[in-house]
Each structure stands twice: as structure tokens, then as C-alpha cells.
Amino acid sequence: MKAPQHPESIESCYHLVAPTSRRQQAAAGHKVPLTPALSPREREQAAAVQLAPEHGCRGTACFAARHRHPARWAKAERDKPRVYCMGRCYVAPATAGETARPHVEVRSPQAILLANLVDGGARQLDIYLARGGYRGLERALLRSRQEVVGEVLDSQLRGRGGAGFPSGVKMRAVAANPSPVKYVVANGDEGDPGSFTDRFLMEDDPFRLIEAMSIAGYAVGAAQGYIYLRCEYPEARAILLEALSQARSRGFLGERVLSRDFSFDIQLVSGHGSYVCGEETALLRSIEGRRPEVMPRPPFPTDKGLFGKPTLLLNIETLCNLPWILEHGGEAYCALGYNKSRGTKALSLPSLFRKPGIYEVEFGTTLATIVEEIGGGMADGRLVGVMPAGPMGGIVPASLLATPLDFEALRAVGGNLGHGGIVAIDEHTSIPQLVHHIFEFAADESCGKCTPCRVGSRRLADALARALADCSLSPGERVGVRGSPSSTDGGTHPVDRGQWKSIVEALAQTSLCGLGVGLSELANSVNRYFQKEFSPCLS
């Protein structure tokens, strides 16, 4: 008989141990706290998780670049809590203390997102105003809410968080809801390892985000916004807090924004280091102070979101398009792009590229252009494939680089767009190693609610680990095996082909959220393009 101990280490913060539910808070003495027990200001002040400067990243971009700094990677594999991406992939393998900033460049005909970043950032309100900031909100406030929503519909803007859902349609749904209380939530969780655009949009252009959320709040009739920020971005946190307070003291937030009949404020909420908290329903539960597990939909957040109220939840980059769209019109925005993917997209290119950094490109640019021209090709290896969606989507093999950057075109080749972190894989990483890395990531980051993802990803990660430790891959490629002693009989432990197939299928068909589905997409792209490399692992 053994009594478990209360986990008190930092690790506890990194795991989903905010097990309180709203009903439980009520039981604890706060009768039905429709807002969290702490005041907004207190919540902002509440300390975020701090990582030591030498804490290593285990994210996919750092994994792919581990040969650059084996000692650092070895430490990262041991460091607790495990951190998958610190938004520093441009110097991968990265540590938390890395202060270098990425190269930023606009490669689209029109700078929609990155103008201020290229010009050295606009962290002060005055600079933002001097560069033409807040014209979008001013225009919006002169028009009716329906017209603002109409403008976004016209732009054909689609969500940049991964799913590519038309943002105007979401807005229209929230705007049409008669509820007197609504919320706008900015998803600043940027969880996909290999992406760091949202981080620098928040750090270098915080007022654009504030302006964008205000526009969204006006359009849907919300008076309160929340920015959900992952705790791996302490710099963004400090900058956003400062920007929010500047905006508040200068009348850009609070009662009567810009002296108009519109009140709006924004509160910053920090995450606790969980990838799944980027998923919208888990994110909302996290803001509510409940255990952040994925919730079934319907109800969609647009109907019953934060605290049960209609909620417009958009990704940071999605939101940052709004000021430009309101200033220049939806049509102007829609003029750029390709097929059903309109406008531009900011991409993160990690360190395996010769020219890592953040690039704004027009949709329709081919992956070849992105890899060869913009990224300058691989720095020190031969390209095997790119993962445009990080772990939650397929690998596009080098042979298919002619594919244009477009939601549908990428899906057609078994890929995805994710947050636009283009993780390149070169020959330093074998496909089995990559697949093992990703299932290990998933097993650790799964919220644990649904069976296929909670158990399936762990089974496959363990099976791959055993296979890698034993099978005839070169010795340097061996990976550590979690927990269990590997075979001492000297035999090989390939992954059972039938088990691999059925678990992948169960992930695809029965997972509750996009994490499980994304894993199956990765596995299927491996089956499709990398048979030869992967089959030695299968029995």
C-alpha cells in the first residue's frame, strides 16, 4: 500500500494539475464565481512558470538540429519539465536563456503582418501610432458591427491556428448570438514545435494584437478579451503586460475606447506548459481555472465558450490581420493569395535552413521557393522532407516541394499548415527516429482524456523506442528506451505491423481532438512516402 505524494515541484505546474472545476470553486466558498476568484489585475500579476536559462528544448526543430549540439540535446532530454519548443527554433537546438532574435523579412508583394517587425518593432504605443497604428479600429468604430463582420467575410481570411476555418464566419456566429455577455480570446499558445511567428508578433507588435482584439470585440459585441499566452514566452508576457497598461492609461482600452461608445478590456492569462491548451476547448477551460481537457463539440465556443458564453477564439496571427483588413478593406486583402487561401502567411524557418527567420509570403508560394530561395536551402545536410504543421500533420517529401502554400493543396499531399513553422528534416534524422520523437511528444502532451491518444501514442512511442534500440539502424541513431529494460536476449523488437496499423487507424477515426488525428496524418504520410525508410521497424 502506498500513499501518493502531493506533487509540488515545478513539474506539477507543467502537468495538468489544475484539477479544480468551476463547481468545485463554488464549493470552496466562492459561490458560483462566474469570473475567476482573482481579480483581473491579480491574475496578470500571478507569477508565470520560469525556466532556468540553461533549460533545454525538446521540440521538433531542436530535435532535427540535435547534431549541432549533442551535449545540449542530451541535457534537454533529461531536463524536467520537458519543454517542447521555446519559440527559439531559429537557433535550434535552443535553451531557455537564448536571447538572439530572428531575422524578419517580407517576401510578399504587400506587407500585411510584419511591417512593424521589419522596422525594428513597435513596443511603445507612440511608435505604433506614428507608424499608422489604430487606423483599423478607428475605421471600424465609424461603421456598424455588421459592416465590420462583412469586411472580414470579404477578406476571406482563414484561421492561422491550424484548421483554416473562415474567421468571418466565426465572427458572424458570435455577433449574431443575442447573449449580453460575450468574449474574445486570442490564442497565444503557439504550441507547434518549430513555430515562433506568434511570439514575435506579440513581442514586437503588441499593440497590433490589442487593436485587433478591440476590432473583434466591437464586431461581435464583446466587452472583455483574454490573451492566453504560453508560459514558455516570458518576454512576451512582460511586453504584453506593459502594452496593456499603456493602452489602458491612454484610453485605448477600458471605458469608451477612443472616446466612442465602446468599452473593451483585455486580460492576460498564462498557461502552465501544456501543448493541448492550444486546443480551443482546453484553452477555455484553462482560463476558467479548470482541468484543461478537451471538450466535445458541439457546443462550439461560438455558442458556449468561455464561462459558457459565446466566444470568438482566434489565433494571434489571424487576429493581427484584422487592422490591415479594416484599414484597407477586405477586398484588398482578398486580392492576394491563392485559391481558397487568401492573403499572406508568416512562416517560421528554423535553424536547419541557411537563412532561418520569420518570412511573410503570399499564399501560393511553392514549398520549393520557401525552402530554396527564401530559406536558402539546408545549411548542412540534404533535405528529406518538410513538416509544415509541426507534429500534427504529415511530412511532405522533398520530391513534392512543388506544392504551393495553400490549405487544400497541402492537405492533398497529406500535409497540413499548422502554425506555419516549416520544420525541415535532413539526413541527420532517420524517419523512424522522427516518428518516435513525435509519438513520444504526443504521449507526453496528450491531455489523457481519450483512449487512442492517451494509450495509443504511448504504445507506439515505446514500441518504436524498442525497435530503434535494437534494430539494425546505425548505433549513433539509437534512442533511449523509456522505463522498460529493452531486450537482453539480443533479438530485435520490430513494431508489430498489425498493431501499428490498427492504432494509427484508431487515432484517425476515434480521437476526440486534432492531436490524435494529426498523429495519424503523420503516420500515414510515413506509410505513403517513406515505406523504405520505415519498414525495417515493422515486423
Partner 1 sequence: MPVVTLNGQSASYRPGQSILEAARAAGIDIPTLCHDPRIAPFGGCRLCVVEVEGSSRPVAACTTPCSEGMKVTTHTPELEEYRRTLLSLLADGYPPEAIARHPDKAFHKYLAAYGVAPISVECGSLLPPDVFCDATHPYIHVDMRQCIYCQRCVRICEELQGQFVWKPWYRGDAIRILPDQGTTLLESSCVSCGACVDTCPTGALEDQTLLLRGEPEHWTRTTCPYCGTGCEMNVGTRDGRITTIRPVLDAPVSKGHLCVKGRYAHAWIESEDRITVPLLRAEGDWRKVSWEEAVGFIARRFTEIMKTEGPERIGVVASSRATNEENYLAQKFTRVVLGTNNVDGCARVCHTPTAAGMKMTLGTGAATNSFDDIERAHAFLICGANPTENHPIVGARIKQAVLGRPPLPGGEGGDEGGAKLVVIDPREIELARYADVHLQLRPGTNVPLLNALACAIIDEGLADEAFIAERTKDFDAFRKFVADYAPAKVAGITGVDASLIRQAARIYANGKPSMCFHGLGVTEHLQGTEGVMCLVNLALLTGNIGKPGSGVNPLRGQNNVQGCAHMGCDPGILTGGVALKEGRALFESVWGAPVPTESGLNLMEMMDAAAAGKLSALWLIGYDIYFTLANEESTRRALEKIDLVVVQDMFMNETARRFGTVFLPAASPFE
Ligand X SMILES: Cc1cc2nc3c(=O)[nH]c(=O)nc-3n(C[C@H](O)[C@H](O)[C@H](O)COP(=O)(O)O)c2cc1C
Least CB distance from residue 200 to ligand FES, whole Å?
Answer: 13
The interface with ligand FES within residues 99-138 (CB under 6 A) comprises none
Least CB distance from residue 185 to ligand X, whole Å?
Answer: 9
Least CB distance from residue 333 to ligand FES, whole Å?
Answer: 29
> Which of 184, 205, 226 has the alpha carbon at shortest distance from 317?
205
> What residue 362 binds from partner 1, ligand X, ligand FES, none (CB within 5 to 8 A, per partner kind)?
none
Least CB distance from residue 450 to partner 1, whole Å?
Answer: 5
146 counts as binding partner 1 under rule CB under 8 A: no
492 counts as binding partner 1 under rule CB under 8 A: no
Maximum distance among all Cα pairs of the chain, rounded to whole angstroms: 77
178 counts as binding partner 1 under rule CB under 8 A: no
Encoded amino acid at 424, one letter: A
Give the span between the Cα atoms of 39 and 18, in whole angstroms: 18
Would you list the DSSP string of 323-355? HHHHHH-HHHHHTSEETTEESEEEEEE-TTBSS
List interacting residues with ligand SF4 (CB under 6 A): 276, 294, 446-450, 453-454, 511-513, 515-516
Least CB distance from residue 102 to ligand SF4, whole Å?
Answer: 29
Omega before 193 within 30 of 0, i.e. cis: no
Which is nearer to partner 1, 264 or 275 (by Cβ)?
Answer: 275
Residue nearest to ligand FES (CB): 59
> Which of 25, 91, 27, 35 has the alpha carbon at shortest distance from 59?
91
Long-range contacts of 105-108 (CB under 8 A, 24+ apart): 105/357, 105/358, 105/359, 105/360, 105/374, 106/359, 106/360, 107/359, 107/360, 107/361, 107/365, 107/374, 108/336, 108/344, 108/360, 108/361, 108/362
The interface with ligand FES within residues 17-76 (CB under 6 A) comprises 57, 59-62
> What residue 484 binds from ligand SF4, partner 1, ligand FES, none (CB within 5 to 8 A, per partner kind)?
partner 1
> What residue 160 binds from ligand SF4, ligand FES, ligand X, none (CB within 5 to 8 A, per partner kind)?
ligand X
373-389 residues labelled b (16+ CB within 10 A) or e (exposed)? ebbebbbebebbbbbbb
Least CB distance from residue 336 to partner 1, whole Å?
Answer: 30
Instruction: From residue 139, give the alpha-carbon distance in Å to each of 155, 208, 440.
Output: 16, 15, 48
> Which of 312, 289, 291 has the alpha carbon at shortest distance from 300?
312
Q: Looking at 212-220, 235-243, 293-301, 469-477, which segment touches partner 1 (CB under 8 A)?
A: 293-301
393 counts as binding partner 1 under rule CB under 8 A: no
Which one of 154, 505, 527, 536 is in contact with partner 1 (CB under 8 A)? 505
Which one of 69, 88, 208, 342 is in contact with ligand FES (CB under 6 A)? 88
> What residue 238 binds from partner 1, ligand FES, ligand SF4, none (CB within 5 to 8 A, per partner kind)?
none
Which spans in 145-304 are helix H?
A: 145-155, 167-176, 197-204, 206-220, 234-249, 280-287
Work out the angle at residue 148's Cα, subtended by the Cα atoms of residues 264 and 109, and round it to the nearest 5 degrees: 110
> What residue 502 binds from partner 1, ligand FES, ligand SF4, none (CB within 5 to 8 A, per partner kind)?
partner 1
Give me the sign of the Cα torsion angle 144, 149, 153, 157. positive
Least CB distance from residue 536 to ligand X, whole Å?
Answer: 30
Omega before 299 within 30 of 0, i.e. cis: yes
Give me the sign of the Cα torsion angle 419, 425, 428, 433. positive
Pairing relationship of beta strands 265-270 and 311-315 according to DSSP bridges: unpaired
For cell 455577455, what's the residue? 181
Least CB distance from residue 110 to partner 1, whole Å?
Answer: 35
76 and 480 Cβ atoms separated by less than 8 Å: no
Least CB distance from residue 33 to ligand X, whole Å?
Answer: 25
List interacting residues with ligand X (CB under 6 A): 159-163, 165, 167, 187, 189-191, 276, 278-280, 313-315, 318, 513-515
The site string for partner 1 over 265-284 (x = CB under 8 A, - otherwise) reads ---------x-x--------
85 counts as binding ligand FES under rule CB under 6 A: yes
Least CB distance from residue 282 to partner 1, whole Å?
Answer: 10
Least CB distance from residue 454 to ligand SF4, whole Å?
Answer: 5
Which one of 148, 320, 503, 522 is in contact with partner 1 (CB under 8 A)? 503
CB-based contacts of 112, cutoff 8 Å, min separation 6: 321, 324, 333, 336, 343, 344, 360
> What residue 292 binds from ligand SF4, ligand X, ligand FES, none (CB within 5 to 8 A, per partner kind)?
none
59-84 residues labelled b (16+ CB within 10 A) or e (exposed)? bbbbbbbbebbeebbeebeebebbbb
Q: Looking at 89-97, 202-210, 352-360, 481-489, which segment touches ligand FES (CB under 6 A)?
A: 89-97
Please list the residues that pair with 495 across neighbouring strands.
538
Instruction: From residue 189, give the alpha-carbon distance in Å to each of 53, 132, 437.
Output: 20, 28, 21
Q: Looking at 56-64, 369-377, 400-408, 446-454, which segment touches partner 1 (CB under 8 A)?
A: 446-454
Contact set with ligand FES (CB under 6 A): 57, 59-62, 85-89, 92, 94, 193-194
Residues at the contact surface with partner 1, assessed by CB under 8 A? 1-7, 15-17, 19, 21-24, 26-27, 29, 31-32, 34, 274, 276, 291, 293, 296, 298-299, 303-304, 307-308, 442-452, 454-459, 462, 483-484, 502-503, 505-506, 508-512, 517
